């Protein structure tokens, strides 16, 4: 009997020992399996990089990015006795009305109080969160075997693109789209400078801090912590001057209303470098709040709108004739008293002449005169000359989606009619920027540059990163350019551009008025342009103006030329040009 009792005790002890081991290993395995429910010993915090800014030459940030944060709280962790105090303090620190906070807190559990907290407010809320923790604002609660205690959670939620001057410099700066990446709102350029410089301006590298946490779930910054630096996108610095840009936009707004025009374009380029110092349109939009009525203004018409340029083509053809010694400026050309028949086509002039000098064909914009002179150009020289001036190809300006325009196949130039019509600006389609660059040759000794909006890049340390230098191209000889410059000055002194005269400045240019095409037919609506230059003793600027569909007046001398003059006067006001005193 004693032996059986001893055996029973030994077996019982053994079974208890085995049971203890099973319980121990069961608990141990449970901890291993469910360790993800415990607070992590090692935590990480991302510091996401943002896009670079777009900055004018006079230091104005026309576009910049800021971070957005979301702030959340577990409502079950808020001490009910201190809920009113929480609402008051959170409202003070966040700027969110108490009523809105109280409504959000009706939800039980994890609740987002705002998705659009700025960086400064997020910093203040983090301080508040620590204070509330110290005040025992938050209490623990159980979910099964888990004990949960959470305070304020503040996380980066996305990036916001800001346009502090709203519609200034649009559509040139362009606009962006939003997309989600790991539950974070990112931004990408869609149009304009935002798109062209996307690879430069987009964020380079997100920052990261990884290390052990303290009791407040903050990362301990010791030698064991991993710190990866944040690199934002490069800033793009423009050649455009903010004050000049805004002033010209105001000028265009006034003239658009006066002329009842669909749109007016204007640009100013440094003739000796190709730098664009102003590029304005009357049709602009706020990139932050694009509406349906803005859709037609989203595309920069400087490079995406192709049109028949009219008589602003005449100096191009005349320059080719001079270049190949096929015309003398002072030779006499027959004017046929304003009506000339070429084949089956009748060509007419607004100003009627029996005879006029070759240079006066440009000064008084004679269709009949240029139609006759254009016949002297051999087909190959005619077609190659248009290409040399840049027609039918991109200018290379730093904007995306630039169009090439169009010139007819070389075989068509064997026709006398086509030679004539192209010479006075029909049968060819050009962009505003192609014309501006072509006229640069007349004010820069025969050379043109690739037009440039961007000047240089910079990083967050303000280190300058150069952009590729604009390419220079010889279009016509110095002799031809000098002659053309003088002829275009005569256009302003006594021809179709007299309104553009300003005492003390050297001003030249050419008017052009052309019918618009709708559904394959010419209609009585017009594009009117004036392209030319304004110089003083030290500076040379190539300037272009195009008025699209003016309804009250349509001749360029009455529409584009007055706008041109006001732009030049603004250049004087801003100190870009200094008239010579007599």
Backbone angles phi, psi at 131, to 5 degrees: -65, -40
Provide φ and ψ at 343, rounded to 5°: 65, -125
Quick one: pLDDT at residue 527?
96
The string of DSSP letters for 31-42 reads: HHHTGGGSPPSE
What pLDDT is stored for residue 9 in this prediction? 65
Has domain 46-92+109-135+157-213+228-238 been given CATH number 3.40.50.620? no
Dihedral sign for Cα atoms in the order 304, 433, 359, 560: positive
Distance from C-alpha of 465 to C-alpha of 201, rounded to nearest angstrom: 12
Structure tokens at 93: 């620190």
Q: Which two tokens stand for residue 327?
A: 């015309």
Q: What is the pLDDT of residues 210-263, one digit of tens each?
A: 766 655 556 666 666 667 888 999 999 999 999 999 999 999 999 999 999 999
Distance CA 391, CA 353 (A): 31
Token pair in block for residue 140: 């623990």
Are 545 and 563 in contact, with CB atoms under 8 Å apart?
yes
Write down the H helix ranges in 65-148.
83-94, 98-104, 119-134
What is the reported pLDDT for 145?
76
Q: Go through 384-405 and write b for each residue having 16 or more CB atoms within 10 A of its CB, e for each that does not.
A: ebbebbbbbeebbbbbbebebb
Q: Is there a contact between 299 and 191 (Cβ–Cβ < 8 Å)?
A: yes
Written as six digits, the tokens of 469 are 């230098």
Alpha carbon distance 305, 325 (integer Å): 34
d(CA 160, CA 53): 12
Can you tell me which residue has the tokens 């502090």? 164
Residue 278's pLDDT is 98
Q: Which residues on adjacent β-strands are paired with residue 507?
A: 534
Place of tokens 């859709």: 295
Listed in sequence order, the residues at least 6 apart from 8 whose beta carbon sits closer than 8 Å to its beta carbon are none
Nearest-CA neighbor of 423 among 352, 532, 320?
320
The separation between CA 264 and the C-alpha centre of its own chain, rounded to angstroms, equals: 18
Residue spans of the chain under pLDDT 50? 34-39
Return the HEC string of 362-430: HHCCCHHHHHHHHCCCCHHHHHHHHHHCCCCCCCCCCCCCCCCCECCCHHHHHCHHHHHHHHCCCCCEE
Decide which of 3.40.710.10, 3.40.50.670, 3.30.565.10, 3.40.50.300 is the CATH code for 242-573.
3.40.710.10
Percent composition of the chain: helix, strand, coil (DSSP 3-state, to 5): 35, 30, 35
What pLDDT, on the 0 to 100 scale, is given for residue 37? Answer: 43
- Domain residue ranges in the chain: 46-92+109-135+157-213+228-238, 242-573
CB contact at 8 A, 532 and 508: yes
Query: What are the structure tokens assigned to 367, written together?
Result: 């269709």
Cis peptide before 171 (omega within 30 of 0): yes
- Residue 237 CB partners (closer than 8 Å, separation 6+): 55, 56, 57, 454, 455, 456, 457, 458
Residue 214 to residue 135: CA distance in whole angstroms: 18
Among 383, 382, 322, 316, residue whose Cα is nearest residue 531: 316
Tokens of 236: 């793009």
């Amino acid at each position: 009997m004693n032996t059986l009792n001893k055996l029973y005790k030994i077996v019982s002890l053994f079974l208890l020992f085995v049971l203890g081991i099973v319980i121990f290993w069961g608990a141990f395995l449970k901890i291993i399996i469910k360790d993800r429910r415990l607070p992590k010993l090692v935590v990480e915090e991302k510091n996401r990089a943002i896009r670079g800014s777009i900055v004018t030459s006079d230091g104005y940030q026309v576009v910049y990015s800021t971070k957005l944060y979301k702030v959340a709280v577990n409502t079950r962790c808020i001490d009910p006795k201190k809920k009113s105090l929480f609402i008051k303090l959170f409202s003070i620190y966040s700027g969110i009305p108490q009523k809105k906070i109280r409504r959000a807190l009706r939800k039980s559990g994890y609740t987002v109080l705002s998705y659009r907290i700025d960086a400064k407010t997020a910093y203040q809320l983090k301080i508040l969160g620590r204070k509330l923790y110290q005040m025992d604002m938050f209490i623990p609660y159980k979910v099964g075997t888990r004990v949960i205690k959470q305070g304020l959670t503040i996380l980066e939620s996305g990036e916001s693109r800001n346009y502090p001057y709203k519609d200034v410099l649009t559509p040139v700066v362009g606009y962006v789209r939003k997309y989600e990446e790991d539950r974070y709102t990112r931004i990408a350029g869609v149009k304009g400078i935002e798109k062209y410089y996307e690879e430069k301006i987009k964020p380079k590298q997100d920052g990261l801090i990884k290390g052990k946490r303290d009791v407040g779930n903050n990362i301990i910054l010791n030698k064991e912590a991993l710190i990866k630096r944040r690199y934002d996108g490069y800033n793009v610095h423009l050649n455009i001057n903010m004050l000049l840009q805004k002033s010209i936009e105001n000028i265009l707004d006034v003239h658009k209303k006066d002329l009842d025009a669909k749109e007016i374009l204007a640009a100013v380029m440094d003739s000796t470098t190709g730098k664009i110092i102003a590029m304005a349109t009357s049709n602009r939009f706020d990139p932050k709040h694009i509406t349906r009525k803005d859709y037609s203004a989203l595309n920069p018409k400087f490079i995406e709108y192709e049109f028949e340029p009219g008589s602003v083509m005449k100096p191009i053809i005349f320059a080719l004739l001079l270049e190949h010694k096929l015309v003398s400026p002072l030779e006499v050309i027959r004017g046929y008293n304003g009506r000339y028949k070429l084949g089956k086509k009748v060509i007419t002039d607004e100003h009627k002449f029996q005879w006029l000098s070759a240079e006066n064909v440009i000064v008084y914009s004679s269709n009949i005169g240029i139609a006759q002179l254009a016949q002297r150009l051999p087909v190959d020289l005619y077609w190659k000359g248009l290409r040399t001036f840049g027609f039918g190809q991109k200018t290379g300006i730093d904007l995306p989606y630039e169009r090439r325009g169009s010139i007819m196949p070389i075989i068509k130039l064997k026709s006398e009619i086509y030679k004539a019509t192209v010479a006075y600006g029909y049968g060819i389609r050009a962009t505003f920027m192609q014309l501006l660059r072509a006229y640069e040759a007349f004010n820069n000794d025969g050379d043109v540059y690739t037009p440039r909006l961007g000047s240089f890049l910079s990083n967050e340390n303000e280190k300058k990163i150069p952009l590729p230098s604009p390419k220079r191209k010889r279009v016509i000889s110095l002799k031809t350019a000098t002659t053309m410059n003088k002829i275009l000055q005569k256009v302003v002194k006594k021809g179709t551009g007299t309104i553009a005269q300003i005492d003390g400045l050297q001003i030249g240019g050419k008017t052009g008025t052309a019918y618009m095409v709708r559904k394959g037919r010419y209609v009585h609506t017009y594009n009117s342009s004036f392209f030319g230059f304004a110089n003083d003793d030290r500076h040379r600027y190539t300037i272009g103006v195009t008025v699209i569909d003016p309804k009250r007046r349509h001749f360029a001398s009455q529409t584009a030329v007055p706008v041109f003059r006001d732009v030049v006067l603004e250049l004087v006001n801003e100190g870009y040009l200094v008239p010579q005193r007599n």
